[in-house]
Structure 1
Amino acid sequence: MVDHYDLIVRAHSALIDGAFRPATLAVTNGTIVAIGDHDAEFTATTEVALPAGQVLIPGIVDTHVHVNEPGRTDWEGFASATRAAAAGGVTTIIDMPLNSIPPTTTVDALRQKREAAAAQATIDIGFWGGAIPSSLGHLEPLHRAGVFGFKAFLSPSGVDEFPHLSSEQLHAALAELAAFDGLLIVHAEDPGVLEAHENTGGVGYDDFVASRPDSAEKTAIEHVIEGLRRTGARAHILHLSSASALPTIRAAKAEGLHLTVETCPHYLSFASEGIPDGATQYKCCPPIRDESNRRELWQALIAGDIDLIASDHSPSTRELKLGHGGDFGLAWGGISGLEVSLPAVWSAAREFGITLEQVVEWMTGSTSRLAGLPAKGSLAVGTDADFVAFAPDETFTVIAEHLQHKNKVTAFDGSELHGVVHTTWLGGEPVFVLGAPNDQVRLRGRLLTATH
């Protein structure tokens, strides 16, 4: 008897075991259960054949997303964030513990997050916890409740309810997490360096960069590395923007310390030379630096010094982002780019001759391993049937007003990008179809719990 599946997808080019080849994927009960040749004699309730020009890739796993609900849902929210994610080929996000109110620093706050997300999720969602001064000594209950790790700031976060850790508190958090093999993910900028370089703000982008110099990142990362050396803990450096820290990172990895590092689409796509004064849509912390630095980040990805790429989608209201007359000192610091992260990275990668296979690995396989999600990040028998029909050679122009983000502001507005998402499947069900209205897509997302 011939097996009958829920869904089969035939692709002239599917990313299997790190290489593109013709293949047919068979799905039953939301899981990939068989992979055959393009003309495999599979039968299914639903059959899809991708046209020439579209490739099949795993759904993007974005481990750095600020959804902001509950408490600041006017900034984003689970409904808009997960629709935007699906439209960009993202099938899993891990939500940051701020800028929601309350922040995810207690088991009860995690419960409120999960309740807010449960009825609104187009895609799968997991949650990071937070390590702030008041939660030190109490991290393990949140770990047991299923967060994927703990975020800490080493300098002021921008919101009062999520204070930063001192160097002493950083080491205490690492020691606490080492006892149960928890992961600390770190916003690494040193407050002493930032205070020494503080200026009056204004519309000059170069002045903003000068207020958050390379040395702020390098010094903070050195503090993290010293903490790892003392405690044997695991840490992940978030949104690396400064190539000056790469020799330190490289040495720490060679030493055998448990350190991983990410960078973000905006650091790989933009350079300070191209950012006009007053263009606060580009403000993020740490900042976008110069073209030479951008190229060094790409080389560090190729070399393996940087492990992965995540969006750091950090939206706000239009007023907070653009309503201060172009003053970088007053505008909210965060880039809104969840929906365009894959095409943005792919477009920039093409400049350097980097393959789509490698880009997908940085945004799916590497991110899945960081979060401990073995059922995500690859097209393989036994994994979740989360995949994307992607046209790598098609182009489009980003129009902020057309994005699914709640607030239509992004640094990518007006960018011409390569790579169009045509269909996104979650568990074998379409959650985005290019050109289809949102009300035709059923909510399929699940709430993920880390297994420790």
Structure 2
Amino acid sequence: MEVGSPVSAVRSQRVVLGNKVCPAVVTIKDGRIHKILPDGEDPDEGGFEVLDMGDSVVMPGIVDCHVHVNEPGRTSWEGFWTATRAAAAGGVTTIVDMPLNSIPPTTTLHNFHEKLREAAGKCFVDTAFWGGVIPGNQHELRPLLNAGVAGFKCFLIHSGVEEFPHVTLSDLHAAMKMLQGTGSVLLFHAELECHQETPELADPCQYTTFLQSRPDVMEMEAIQTIIDLCLQYKVRCHIVHLAAAKPLKMIQKARQAGALLTVETTHHYLNLCAENIPAGATQFKCCPPIRGAANQAKLWSALKDGQIDMVVSDHSPCTPDLKNLGSGDFTKAWGGISSLQFGLPLFWTSATQKGFQLADVVRLLSQETVRLCSLDQQKGSIQPGYDADLVIWDPEREFKIHEADIHHKNKVTPYLGITLRGLVHATVLRGQLVYRDGVFCTEPLGKSILIPARKI
């Protein structure tokens, strides 16, 4: 079957249906899941060409709800064309674009319309959008919601770019009041500035110098602030890219007290640890920082216990010069890691060694992420009526990451040269084959998703 063709049915011995993995035939009609038949039972309607994937795993496409595309304005860092091709190659069928690092940021209705114009005709997978909360834009929030953003993100510390300033406590109170009763969600970059003195003679090329400049107390203090607001206003809140395990106890306590609070972590916090980062290797820099192995083990335990809800990429690319690879100065390098294309194998390579099953992959990389961005009635499950978004992959197959195989615009990544388990063979988007074994659809078939505003 040629890439770009509509798919009428997919057969496999390993189809992930809820908590079960079983032989099945998934039929597709008008871009949506039509029926799920036992293997051996052929579709009764005529004209079906069944895509037989043998023993490959068929599961819902991954929904990565934390992606910085950076278009318009910083398209040299990344853009819709390159980001969504990389997503398709990794079995990601929907991304949710973050509001910052593009110029202008998605903080006004006018800016959102500009973002939509830029995305049109460039996306190989479906794309939804977060809005942003910055000082003074609280009156833009409801118009943005009505226009279809999935929710909002804010920073409690400098965001790294001047056009997306961080919020104060008074800004947050104003935003929370606007979001009450909307059913929307506010995402927080959960670090608060603390006066951490760096020794004068500390070597900026040593990773420990950077790590000590952003201790886990910064996450602790920010998350306490978030919890207080969440309990006061009863607005859904979400902590993006949790790096530190210490705040998990306070998060659990807050949930028990009724806080509508969810938490994500990322592939880099689950796969990389501070002890293994070489001097000058600024491709490992991100914020919050990658912490130590003992902390990482606690993140995995929390994921197993359901204390962390989901795993995302936080794909945050830049041009190679901004990583300061030549000087190796961690204090001056851009903080962000590119991994959108490799999220599934990154997660599976480690998770399979820790007792996670295929159903856990679907839950953590698809079902919980779609719930966060209010796409859970449309995507993230193989059920009749849902979008026919599928990833077809081989969990046992190993491969090595070579620069030539990376489809992100810029190839700087800490994962270059590593060997992973879990090779993506094909990606189906709303019933059309958009990627198969290194070949892409010639034209982008992804859509911009506008999410209807919810009332509660």
For Structure 1 versus Structure 2, the TM-score category normalised by the shorter chain is: over 0.9
Question: What secondary structure is seen at the aligned counterpart in 2 of 1:333?
Answer: coil
Alignment of 1:423 with 2:421, yes or no, is no
Q: Distance in 1 between matches of 2:442 and 2:79?
A: 18
Cα distance, 1:356 vs structure 2: 2.1
Cα distance, 1:232 vs structure 2: 1.4
Give the percent of matched residue pairs that are identical in Structure 1 and Structure 2: 44
Structure 1 length normalisation: TM-score? 0.95
Cα distance, 1:323 vs structure 2: 4.0
Cα distance, 1:324 vs structure 2: 5.0
Give the structure 1 partner of residue 196 of structure 2: 196
Give the structure 2 partner of residue 157 of structure 1: 159
Give the structure 2 partner of residue 389 of structure 1: 392
Contact 1:6/1:27 (8 A) holds in 2: yes
Alignment of 1:41 with 2:38, yes or no, is no
Q: Which amino acid aligns with 2:412?
A: V
Question: What secondary structure is seen at the aligned counterpart in 2 of 1:75?
Answer: coil
Q: Deviations over 1:90-144 (max 9, x none)?
A: 0000000010000000111111111111110100000000000031233111111
Give the structure 2 partner of residue 408 of structure 1: 411
Alignment of 1:28 with 2:23, yes or no, is no
Cα distance, 1:57 vs structure 2: 0.8
Change (3 A) 1:198 1:135: farther
Query: Where do 5+ consecutive residues of structure 1 fail to align?
Result: none
Q: Distance in 1 between matches of 2:341 and 2:289?
A: 21
Cα distance, 1:361 vs structure 2: 1.0
Q: Deviations over 1:377-399 (max 9, x none)?
A: 01111110000111000001112
Cα distance, 1:375 vs structure 2: 1.1
Q: Distance in 2 between matches of 1:44 and 1:214?
A: 59
Q: 2:379 aligns with which of 376, 380, 389?
A: 376
Q: Which amino acid aligns with 2:157?
A: S
Q: Distance in 2 between matches of 1:422 and 1:48?
A: 12
Contact 1:10/1:48 (8 A) holds in 2: yes
Q: Which amino acid aligns with 1:259?
A: L
Give the structure 1 partner of residue 146 of structure 2: 144
Q: 2:298 aligns with which of 264, 281, 296?
A: 296
Contact 1:59/1:90 (8 A) holds in 2: yes
Change (3 A) 1:72 1:22: same
Q: Distance in 1 between matches of 2:408 and 2:57?
A: 26
Give the structure 1 partner of residue 3 of structure 2: none
Give the structure 2 partner of residue 230 of structure 1: 232
Q: Which amino acid aligns with 1:381?
A: P
Query: Where do 5+ consecutive residues of structure 2 fail to align?
Result: 1-5
Q: Which amino acid aligns with 1:448?
A: I
Give the structure 2 partner of residue 269 of structure 1: 271
Contact 2:281/2:325 (8 A) holds in 1: no
Cα distance, 1:182 vs structure 2: 2.2
Higher relative contact order (CA 8 A, sep 6+): 2
Q: Distance in 1 between matches of 2:418 and 2:325?
A: 22
Alignment of 1:133 with 2:135, yes or no, is yes
Contact 1:430/1:441 (8 A) holds in 2: no
Q: Distance in 1 between matches of 2:118 and 2:197?
A: 40
Give the structure 2 partner of residue 106 of structure 1: 108
